[in-house]
């Protein structure tokens, strides 16, 4: 079923990405996606008349997928949404570029803008974007209820992709002559790699940007890299910057632990309430850490500030500054900048409210929010808890694995003791960060804390082509957007490398077909 997509999607605002480290990091992620969509829209409409015409080319469709691909006696289904852009497709043999949705809604712009769209234009590809089950519009009305979340998993999502491949092949009369290539970033980057790994007959090559293919319960390395990135001079960091941050977080921690005036602290950071409860104290700490984590993860995306700007604030030696402000005061100022950028009158520190929001199973929140679903996936498949118990972490040891995982039993009845085995199964199933994948290109940024769980230095055996692209000074998923004039030259070079791989894959596929025909 293909329906013209109405333009109201243009103004629909987004949602996406990793939860755990408090709601602040989540909000920063949403805003990063938001800004990217706005950017895409401007870019598109800036293309004069052509842009508006392109918008009209996008169609929205639905496919009814089995809720449980692995229980054939269960006939229940859910509607999975997808977008199609045929504007560049060279019928009948042009390739198919599949953009895989992750932990959030997909948008028309996923088939209208981005590096994969630029490549589709170049290669005459049919563009598809498919939404992940249980996110965005691809969910049944009762889907968020805990008992129904049982059908939310990456394994089911990959089976959805196989069924989707079949559906599209029928609808567009595709054959083996149409070479599929998949794309994704972050969690959906992992799905892109796994789709190729599990269904190599369906997808010829896969680009996996910033893809955490290795599940990890205690993801302490995340904050280790946050610390390293903040010392990285190439992006405006310094040792001093991290030292000041450590000092500031230590001061907050001392006060929260009872050595200072918590009411004053709440006043300083503009908290909505005084964090008296231990859980609220942790919530505050998570949110303050989240500001810094988000700054690093989305460095130079224009979301809040860059690492260079944050470190400028932390280490400003101007006399007026230095006199009036110690490390603590600078962190207070950082929190102020966050609140004013995000137009938040006060900083939320209520753990109870966080839990209440995550327990909400009504879909009015489900269409937009993804935090409940993603939290479920961390509890049952991936872990990914960005803990701070390791000495290398620049924040506070208050952020423990214990506190990060306490939501699993509260929200879903998943015991914390069950987590290690679930994470181990995910790695056994997919191969962790040493998967034997062929024609999967892992792209990572040196500033991105997620690189730890991806394939960064690939094996290149014999004359096999490299399977990794490493961009030393960019953050999370930077390669996925259309190039901008302000891009670092490393990023520009990386996009060229990706283009070369895709071109080679398409050539190889064509040669294989010719070979078969001649046999
Ligand atoms: C703590 O700070 C609040 C707010 O500034 C102030 O009203 C109160 O007197 C302080 N308490 C102590 C014990 O210093
Ligand atoms: C340091 O602080 C001064 C005074 O507030 C300000 O004018 C200057 O721009 C700041 N420098 C940086 C690098 O943030």
Residue 184 sits in the same domain as residue 244: no
Flag whether 467 is in a domain. no
Q: Residue 72: pLDDT above 50?
A: yes
Statement to judge: residues 233 and 177 lie in one domain:
no
Cα–Cα distances in angstroms (integers) from residue 496 to residues 88, 128, 468, 501, 502, in the given order: 20, 22, 13, 9, 10
Residues 205 and 352 in one domain: no
Do 311 and 192 lie in one domain? The reply is: no
- Mark whether 280 is an active-site residue: no
Residue ranges making up the domain that contains 41: 2-214+455-461+495-518
Q: Is residue 248 part of a domain?
A: yes
Average pLDDT over residues 3-20: 36
Structure tokens at 73: 């006696």
Among residues 182, 186, 220, 229, the one annotated as catalytic is 186
The answer to whether residue 95 is domain-embedded is: yes
Q: Are residues 170 and 252 in the same domain?
A: no
Pocket flag, ligand 1, residue 263 (CB < 6 Å): yes
If one residue of 240, 318, 337 were mutated to test the ligand 2 pocket, choosing by the most ligand atoms within 8 A of its CB, it would be 318
pLDDT of residue 369: 74
Q: Looking at the domain assignment, is residue 445 inside a domain?
A: no
pLDDT bin (cut points 50, 70, 90) of residue 517 is confident
Domain boundary pick from 370, 402, 421: 421
186 tagged catalytic: yes
In this prediction, residue 213 carries a pLDDT of 97
Tell whether 207 and 249 lie within a shared domain: no
Q: Which residues pair with 443 in a beta bridge?
A: 209, 469
CATH number, domain of 161, equals 3.40.50.1820
Same domain membership, residue 222 and residue 129:
no
Is residue 160 scored above 50 in pLDDT?
A: yes
Under the banding of pLDDT at 50, 70 and 90, the label for residue 317 is confident
Average pLDDT over residues 23-32: 90
Looking at the fold, whether 385 and 511 belong to one and the same domain comes out as no
| Residue 194, phi-psi category: left (phi > 0), alpha (psi -120 to 50), beta (remainder) | alpha
State whether 90 and 119 are in the same domain.
yes
**pLDDT per position as a tens digit, 478-508:** 999 999 889 999 999 999 999 999 999 999 9
Last residue of a domain, one of 421, 439, 474: 421
Are 231 and 179 members of one domain?
A: no
429-436: long-range contacts, CB 8 A cutoff, minimum separation 24: 429/155, 430/190, 430/194, 430/197, 430/213, 430/215, 431/197, 431/213, 432/213, 432/214, 432/215, 433/213, 433/214, 435/193, 435/197, 435/213, 436/197
* Domain identity same for 227 and 202: no
3-state SS track over 186-229: CHHHHHHHHHHHHCCCCCCEEEEECCCCCCEEECCHHHHHHHHH
> Could you give the number of structural domains in the chain?
2
CB-based contact 421:314 (threshold 8 Å) = no
Domain boundary among 403, 421, 439: 421
Give the ligand whose atoms come closest to the C-alpha of residue 306. 2
Reply yes or no on whether the pLDDT at 87 is more than 90: yes
Query: In this prediction, what percent of the chain has a pLDDT beyond 70?
Result: 91
Question: Residue 20 — pLDDT band, cuts 50, 70, 90?
Answer: very low
Q: Does 7 score more than 50 pLDDT?
A: no
Q: Is 482 among the domain residues? A: no
209 CB-contact burial (10 Å; exposed 0-12 / middle 13-18 / buried 19+): buried
Mean pLDDT throughout 285-299? 97
According to the model, what pLDDT value does residue 14 have? Answer: 34
Q: What is the mean pLDDT of the chain?
A: 91
Cis bond upstream, residue 181 (ω within 30): no
pLDDT category of residue 56 using cuts at 50, 70 and 90: confident
- Helices assigned H by DSSP within 325-458: 327-341, 351-359, 363-368, 371-377, 401-405, 407-412, 419-430
Q: What CA–CA distance (Å, rounded) separates 515 from 509?
A: 10
Residues 306 and 407 in one domain: yes
- How large a percentage of the chain has pLDDT more than 90? 81
Could you tell me if residue 245 is inside a domain? yes
Residue 193 domain-assigned (yes or no): yes
What mean pLDDT do residues 254-262 have? Answer: 95
Burial class (CB in 10 A: 0-12, 13-18, 19+), 362: exposed
């Amino acid at each position: 079923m293909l329906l013209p997509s109405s333009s109201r999607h243009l103004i629909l605002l987004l949602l996406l990405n990793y939860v755990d480290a408090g709601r602040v990091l989540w909000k920063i992620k949403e805003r990063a996606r938001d800004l990217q969509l706005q950017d895409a829209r401007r870019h598109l409409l800036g293309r004069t008349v052509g842009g508006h015409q392109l918008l009209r080319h996008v169609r929205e469709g639905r496919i009814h997928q089995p809720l449980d691909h692995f229980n054939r006696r269960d006939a229940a289904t859910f509607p999975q949404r997808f977008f199609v852009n045929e504007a560049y497709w060279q019928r009948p043999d042009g390739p198919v570029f599949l953009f895989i949705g992750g932990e959030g809604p997909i948008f028309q712009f996923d088939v209208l803008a981005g590096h994969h769209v630029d490549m589709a234009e170049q290669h005459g590809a049919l563009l598809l974007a498919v939404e992940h089950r249980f996110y965005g519009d691809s969910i049944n009305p009762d889907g968020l209820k805990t008992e129904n979340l049982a059908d939310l998993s990456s394994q089911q999502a990959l089976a959805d992709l196989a069924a989707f491949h079949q559906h599209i092949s029928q609808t567009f009369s595709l054959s083996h002559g149409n070479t599929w290539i998949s794309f994704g970033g972050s969690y959906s980057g992992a799905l892109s790699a796994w789709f190729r790994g599990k269904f190599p007959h369906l997808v010829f090559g896969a680009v996996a940007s910033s893809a955490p293919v290795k599940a990890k319960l205690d993801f302490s390395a995340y904050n280790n890299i946050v610390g390293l990135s903040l010392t990285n001079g190439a992006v405006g960091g310094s040792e001093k910057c991290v030292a000041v941050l450590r000092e500031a977080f230590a001061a907050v921690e001392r006060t929260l632990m009872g050595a200072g005036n918590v009411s004053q602290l709440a006043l300083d950071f503009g908290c909505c309430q005084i964090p008296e409860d231990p859980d609220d104290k942790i919530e505050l700490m998570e949110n303050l850490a989240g500001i810094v984590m988000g700054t690093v993860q989305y460095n130079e995306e224009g979301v809040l500030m860059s690492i260079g700007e944050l470190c400028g604030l932390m280490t400003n030696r101007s006399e007026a500054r230095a006199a009036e402000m110690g490390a603590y005061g600078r962190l207070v100022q950082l929190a102020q900048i966050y609140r004013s950028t995000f137009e938040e009158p006060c900083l939320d520190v209520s753990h109870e409210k966080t839990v209440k929001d995550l327990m909400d199973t009504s879909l009015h929140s489900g269409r937009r929010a993804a935090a409940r679903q993603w939290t479920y996936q961390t509890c049952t498949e991936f872990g990914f808890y960005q803990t701070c118990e390791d000495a290398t972490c620049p924040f506070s040891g208050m952020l423990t694995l214990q506190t990060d995982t306490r939501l699993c039993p509260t929200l879903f009845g998943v015991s914390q003791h069950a987590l290690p085995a679930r994470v181990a199964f995910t790695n056994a199933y997919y191969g962790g960060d040493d998967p034997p994948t062929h024609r999967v290109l892992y792209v990572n940024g040196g500033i991105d804390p997620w690189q730890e769980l991806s394939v960064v230095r690939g094996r290149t055996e014999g004359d096999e082509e490299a399977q990794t692209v490493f961009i030393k000074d960019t953050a999370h998923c930077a390669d996925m957007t259309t190039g901008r004039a302000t891009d670092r030259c490393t990023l520009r070079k990386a996009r060229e490398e990706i283009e070369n791989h895709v071109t080679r894959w398409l050539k190889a596929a064509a040669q294989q077909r010719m070979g078969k025909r001649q046999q």
